[in-house]
A and B are shown apart, each in its own frame.
Chain A
Amino acid sequence: MVDCVKKMGFEETELRLGLPNANYGKRGFSETVDLKLNLSSAEIGLDSAIDLKENNFNKEKNLLPSSSPTDSVKPPAKAQVVGWPPVRSFRKNVMAVQKRTDSDEAEKGTGGAAFVKVSMDGAPYLRKVDLKMYKTYKELSDALGKMFSSFTIGKCDSQGMMDFMSESKLMDLLNSSDYVPTYEDKDGDWMLVGDVPWEMFVGSCKRLRIMKGTEAKGLAPKAMDKCKTRS
């Protein structure tokens, strides 16, 4: 029992009839707050309790922990105080799961939503699509088709856009006034849409450009080679 008292520090357990506002003994609580919040008492202006008349006109927000993160005063990590902010554990757990799901997706390199700009040659303005909303090239193609209603990309079979297109079909497409979907990948190269598996495409696509067939000829050789090797 004596050990117990020693461990706790005698001052904390000593009963005192102090005057109100006498800071003796009351610091125990504020120190706890400091420890819990990683702040020194000066920073959170605890002295203002006594110095009410002295308006502390130090408007510099960096004395307040809630200010911009670039300040030297580290904002208090909320999780360090048990039960603060007072949010039901159920809600906390739900939000933790939601956050985890978001960060899992971020780790997979696809991010929460994958918005990319879509430009179409000749259209007066660009659009944006969220690639995460689609599961196949066909779905994307349909969506882009609706967005740019004069847009046609030729025949697509279920396995992807230009995958097994024959050389002749491709040539027809490129020579016609039809459009060809291209995209800029992570490396900054302009690629023909449809060569890689869908997930890989979503992960590497930075923006889409729907080119006039005639302009896309430069890209075609790669696709043509692919067609040749396949057939």
Chain B
Amino acid sequence: MCLFRDMMSYFPEEVLEHVFDFLTSHRDRNAVSLVCKSWYSLERFSREKVFIGNCYAVNPERLIARFPRVRSLTLKGKPHFADFNLVPHDWGGDVYPWIEAMTKNGINLEELRLKRMLVSDESLELLAKSFPNFKSLVLVSCEGFTTDGLAAIASNCRFLRELDLQENEVDDRKGHWLSCFPDSCTSLVSLNFACLKGEVNVAALERLVARCHNLRSLRVNHAVPLEALQKILVKAPQINDLGTGSFVHDPDSETSKKMKNTLENCKSVRSLSGFLDVNPHCLPAVYPICTDLTSLNLSYAPGIYSNELIKLICHCKKLERLWILDTIGDKGLGAVASTCKELQELRVFPSDLYGADNAAAVTEEGLVSISAGCPKLNSLLYFCQQMTNAALITVAKNCPNFIRFRLCTLNPVIPDAVTNLPLDEGFGAIVQSCKGLKRLSVSGRLTDQVFLYIGMYAEQLEMLSIAFAGDSDKGMLYVLNGCKKLKKLEIRDSPFGNAALLSDMGKYETMRSLWMSSCEVTYGACKTLAEKMPTLNVEIINEGEDQVEASSSPDARHRVEKMYLYRTLVGPRRDAPDFVWTL
């Protein structure tokens, strides 16, 4: 042992640093930093990419203190259920303090990736003006900014390579942010503004694309019509990821013919999305690029009938990822199963969210066909009308490689459509068969039994989403005791209470976060947990009908409507709004 230690200290730092360069995953780097003090020190000075899964687990000062050479930062803010309107808008997750702190400390930031954060125009302006080497901005499900903020980025980031906006709520200020890219900007590799609602200066876009010879990914918004896109694509035949805007035209027109020819020339396109408005008769224009397509997203395309989707998909034999609406139907999924033998990821979204006619939907049949035809399937998000245990058991047998399995029955408590039993056995089969399962969302009528299966078999499970399921605290206990690698647990409308919450308080230090809403936990239990575990922030969101006067301290037996707890190194957050209480 002594000899080993001496040998290690003979390794010059440069050699170790060089070895660490090959460690790209942040988990590997975290592991390496725990080996010994000198490795910790070496690692922290050489780390350039930092991933922070919960922005409140640390603070900007600690980030900068530990990783002074950070160049790329990924931050996530609101809890996942914020996506479904369960978290009020001004809950928190503001990126400004992070940008400010990095500016003040001379961080050479090149890349910023944010998810579910609050991003103001002020933040974007500060970002754009403070980091001369800034190259990449990726915003997913963020809000709080307008096109003015984008104009600041376009104007000031001289070496911008990537501007990727995914599903953000952006206020359109009718300015010409696209025109703000100076003529000297030729560095763009990826530009995605599909989520913007307003007009863009199409001529400016055309010029921008023409001078950015390295452009590989372009996703435009609804306001870019087909004629304009065709002209743009002529200037960018090297593109490999295309997101169309509005794909509407007379299919017999000159423009449509030109589009087909132009697309034939774009031989590198591997990923296709958009069709935010579409005339299905124009779809044949894309057939030429279908043969090599590996990723297809038609989940925002309204009004394409199943048979038209089938015709398109029949050309896509190399597809690995497919995002589609349930208008495809079970029959359409059968066609996918026969055609797309390389399929790895499938997402089927509901087309009808407002309770109107229910003709279009998929059932267990579609899923079974897919599992039989696509053995490489490892990631699923499936919104369906109904499900059966038998189907899930078959799927589990056909596809043992699932890493992500998210099933969502449109009626959250629907039992097996044939036997009327709960869907426990079906999900049980999934967790038993898929030994590598990392993420699971369950739905339908479920008892404690399914959680027993999950606890017993889902050894690699990191994230679990539960809604309207279970009968008693036992359910939650099975999961907490069984899933050793659990990082995120989110539960809504399930009868889990204090006994489950408090049984193993230390468990939450091994997890990133726990969300419980409309469950049976009480104020008193949350307070107890907060008192016993100073390394956790236990937050109660107090709003709506459940609102209790701030002055009066609620009764210990008062049921808590929304609780969010997470481990943290920096204590209660100082930016919590009035309705968020940290206990």
Contacts and interface: CB of A to CB of B under 8 A. Distances in A.
Interface of A: 1, 4-5, 8, 12-15, 17, 20-21, 25-26, 28-29, 32-33, 37, 44-46, 48-49, 52, 55-56, 58-59, 61, 63-66, 69, 75-92, 94-96, 98-99, 102, 112, 130, 133-134, 139, 143, 146
B419 interface: yes
Interface string B394-431: 00000000000000101111110111111000000000
B303 interface: yes
A63 B473 CA distance: 29
A49 B470 CA distance: 9
A185 to B, nearest CB: 23
Contact of B83 (A1, A48, A81, A89): A89
Contacts of A94: 276, 300
A26 B410 contact: no
B358 interface: yes
Contacts of A143: 250, 252
Listed from nearest, the 7 A-B pairs whose CB atoms lie closest are A83-B84, A77-B355, A20-B472, A13-B557, A98-B302, A90-B167, A56-B420
Given A69-B357, A133-B251, A133-B279, A20 B474 contact: yes
B257 to A, nearest CB: 12
B555 A1 contact: yes
Interface in B505-557: 518, 520, 522, 548, 552, 554-555, 557
B353 A29 contact: no
Given A8-B558, A130-B281, 10 more contacts: A20-B448, A26-B472, A45-B420, A45-B445, A61-B417, A78-B410, A88-B84, A90-B195, A98-B277, A133-B251
Interface of B: 81, 83-86, 141, 167-169, 195, 249-252, 276-277, 279, 281, 299-300, 302-303, 349-355, 357-358, 383, 385-386, 408, 410-415, 417-422, 441, 445, 447-448, 465, 467-468, 471-474, 492-495, 498-499, 518, 520, 522, 548, 552, 554-555, 557-559
A102 B408 contact: no
Given A49-B422, A88-B141, A95-B302, A13 B555 contact: yes
Contacts of A13: 522, 555, 557-559
Contacts of A25: 495, 520
A141 B162 CA distance: 46
A55 B303 CA distance: 41
B170 to A, nearest CB: 10
A4 B558 contact: yes
Contact of B302 (A64, A77, A102, A146): A102
Given A13-B559, A89-B85, A78 B355 contact: yes
A99 B360 CA distance: 15
A52 B471 CA distance: 13
B559 A49 contact: no
B111 to A, nearest CB: 23
B413 A37 contact: yes
A75 B279 CA distance: 31
B467 A66 contact: no
A111 B53 CA distance: 47
Nearest to B303: A112
B492 A26 contact: no
Nearest to B548: A4
Nearest to A93: B169
B556 to A, nearest CB: 9
Contacts of B281: 130, 133
B355 A79 contact: yes
A10 to B, nearest CB: 9
Contacts of A99: 302, 354
Contacts of B357: 69
A33 B494 CA distance: 10
A128 to B, nearest CB: 10
B407 to A, nearest CB: 11
B386 A20 contact: no
B279 A65 contact: no
A48 B467 contact: no
A55 B419 contact: yes
19 contacts: A1-B552, A5-B555, A32-B518, A33-B413, A44-B411, A44-B445, A46-B413, A49-B447, A63-B420, A65-B414, A69-B358, A78-B353, A79-B354, A83-B492, A86-B408, A86-B441, A90-B168, A102-B302, A133-B251
A198 to B, nearest CB: 14
Nearest to A98: B302
Interface centre among B276, B354, B448 (most CB of A within 10 A): B354
B421 A33 contact: no
